[in-house]
Structure 1
Amino acid sequence: MLKKWIKTNPKRVLAIAIFSIILQVFSTTSYYLVNPMLNAIMDGKFQLFITIIISKFVVDQIANGSLSYGTYLYEVQTQDFYHSLRKQNLKFYTEDPSALSDMENELTSDLDLLDENYFMQVFIAFNNFLYVICVSIALFSYNWILVFYSFLIAIISLLIPKLFKRSTTHATNQITKSNSKYLENLHQWITALNEVRRYSIGKQLLKDTSNSGQKLERSEISQQKVIAFSTFCQNLIELFGIFGIPVIAGVLYFHNKVQFGTIVAAGYLANGIFSSLSEALSALTIARSTHEVRQKLNKHSQKGSELSINQLKTIKIKNGKVKFNDNKVLSYDFELNYGDHILVTGLSGSGKSTLLKIITGQQKLSSGSIEYLNFKDKSKKFNLNQLGYLPQENVLFPGTILENITMFNNKLDTKAETVIDDMQIAKDLSKFSDGMYTKIDPNNTTLSGGQKQKIFLARALVHQSAILLLDESLSAIDQKTSTLIIKRLLKEQTVLLVAHNLSSIQRSLFTKEIHLREED
Structure 2
Amino acid sequence: MTYVDMLKSNKMLSSLNIILMSVVAVFSSANNYITILLVSALQRKSSISFFSLVGFEVVICIICYSCSNFSGYFIEKQIQEYLSNIRLKLFKSTFTQKDSVDISDLQNNSINNLQQLGKEYFFSFFTILSGMINIVMIFFTVSSINIWLSLFILITASTTVASSKIFSDKIAQVVKNESCAKGVLIKEVANWIPTLALTREYKKEKVVYKNILYQSSKLEDAKISKSKITESNNFFIDNISNIVETILLIFVAYLIYRNTLKIGVYAAVGSFLYSTLGSIKSISSSLSQIKGSSFIRKEINQKLQVNKAQEYKSLNDFNILRCTDLSVHFKNGETIKYPNFSIKKGEKVLLVGDSGVGKSTLLKVILGLEKKATGNVDFISSAGEKFIPNLDEIGYISQTSVLLPGSIRDNITMFSHDRNTTNKTNEYVKKMCFSVDISSFSEGLDTQIKSNDENWLSGGQKQKIILIRNSMFDRPIFLIDEATSAIDEAARVQVIKEFLNTSATVLWIEHNLSKKITNLFDRQIYLRK
Moved more, 212-221 or 394-403: 394-403
- Supply the distance in 2 between the matched residues of 1:266 and 1:89 (Cα, whole angstroms): 49
User: Does the 8 Å contact 1:317/1:368 carry over to 2?
Assistant: no
Moved more, 185-194 or 218-227: 185-194
Cα RMSD for the two superposed structures: 4.5
- Supply the distance in 2 between the matched residues of 1:373 and 1:88 (Cα, whole angstroms): 32
Sequence identity percentage: 23
Moved more, 49-58 or 329-338: 329-338
- 1:111-260 to structure 2, matched below 5 A, reads 111-260=114-263
Q: Does 1:413 align with 2:414?
A: no
Q: Which residue number in structure 2 is paired with residue 262 of structure 1? A: 265
Give the Å deviation of 1:178. Answer: 2.4
- Supply the distance in 2 between the matched residues of 1:57 and 1:315 (Cα, whole angstroms): 83
From 463, 478, 484, the counterpart of 2:473: 463
SS in 2 for 1:464: coil
- 1:473-510 alpha-carbon deviations (Å, 9 max, x no partner): 34456599569837954945454444566789959957
Moved more, 452-461 or 501-510: 501-510
Give the Å deviation of 1:185. Answer: 3.0
Q: Which residue number in structure 2 is paired with residue 65 of structure 1? A: 66
- Supply the distance in 2 between the matched residues of 1:219 and 1:464 (Cα, whole angstroms): 53
The one-letter amino acid paired with 2:25 is Q
Q: Does 1:394 align with 2:395?
A: no
Give the Å deviation of 1:23. Answer: 0.8
Give the Å deviation of 1:286. Answer: 1.3
Q: Which residue number in structure 1 is paired with residue 36 of structure 2? A: 35
Q: Which residue number in structure 2 is paired with residue 444 of structure 1? A: 455
The one-letter amino acid paired with 1:26 is F
- Supply the distance in 2 between the matched residues of 1:369 and 1:43 (Cα, whole angstroms): 95
- 1:326-366 alpha-carbon deviations (Å, 9 max, x no partner): x4555789999994967666654555444555665766x36
Give the Å deviation of 1:21. Answer: 0.8
User: Does the 8 Å contact 1:317/1:370 carry over to 2?
Assistant: yes
- 1:58-86 alpha-carbon deviations (Å, 9 max, x no partner): 22222111112222222333444455455
The one-letter amino acid paired with 1:465 is R
The one-letter amino acid paired with 1:101 is S
- Supply the distance in 2 between the matched residues of 1:31 and 1:473 (Cα, whole angstroms): 77
- Supply the distance in 1 between the matched residues of 2:504 and 2:51 (Cα, whole angstroms): 90
1:24/1:353 Cα in 2 relative to 1: closer, same or farther (>3 Å)? Answer: farther
- Supply the distance in 2 between the matched residues of 1:296 and 1:464 (Cα, whole angstroms): 39
- The aligned length equals 508
- 1:473-488 to structure 2, matched below 5 A, reads 473-476=483-486, 478=489, 481=492, 485=496, 488=499
1:198/1:94 Cα in 2 relative to 1: closer, same or farther (>3 Å)? Answer: farther
User: Does the 8 Å contact 1:308/1:386 carry over to 2?
Assistant: no
From 75, 98, 102, the counterpart of 2:101: 98
SS in 2 for 1:410: coil
1:66/1:27 Cα in 2 relative to 1: closer, same or farther (>3 Å)? Answer: same
User: Does the 8 Å contact 1:315/1:359 carry over to 2?
Assistant: no
- Supply the distance in 2 between the matched residues of 1:79 and 1:280 (Cα, whole angstroms): 22
SS in 1 for 2:396: strand
SS in 2 for 1:470: strand
Give the Å deviation of 1:293. Answer: 3.5
Give the Å deviation of 1:190. Answer: 3.9
- Supply the distance in 2 between the matched residues of 1:113 and 1:452 (Cα, whole angstroms): 41
SS in 1 for 2:144: helix
SS in 2 for 1:6: helix
- Supply the distance in 2 between the matched residues of 1:273 and 1:407 (Cα, whole angstroms): 60
User: Does the 8 Å contact 1:345/1:516 carry over to 2?
Assistant: no
Q: Does 1:23 align with 2:33?
A: no
- Supply the distance in 1 between the matched residues of 2:526 and 2:146 (Cα, whole angstroms): 85
Give the Å deviation of 1:99. Answer: 3.9
Give the Å deviation of 1:245. Answer: 2.0
SS in 1 for 2:290: helix
Q: Does 1:279 align with 2:277?
A: no
User: Does the 8 Å contact 2:467/2:499 carry over to 1?
Assistant: no
1:127/1:191 Cα in 2 relative to 1: closer, same or farther (>3 Å)? Answer: same
- Supply the distance in 1 between the matched residues of 2:364 and 2:4 (Cα, whole angstroms): 36
User: Does the 8 Å contact 2:79/2:123 carry over to 1?
Assistant: no
Structure 1 unmatched ranges of 5 or more: none
1:73/1:201 Cα in 2 relative to 1: closer, same or farther (>3 Å)? Answer: same
1:42/1:200 Cα in 2 relative to 1: closer, same or farther (>3 Å)? Answer: same
The one-letter amino acid paired with 1:120 is F
Length-normalised TM-score, structure 1 = 0.78
- Supply the distance in 1 between the matched residues of 2:356 and 2:193 (Cα, whole angstroms): 28
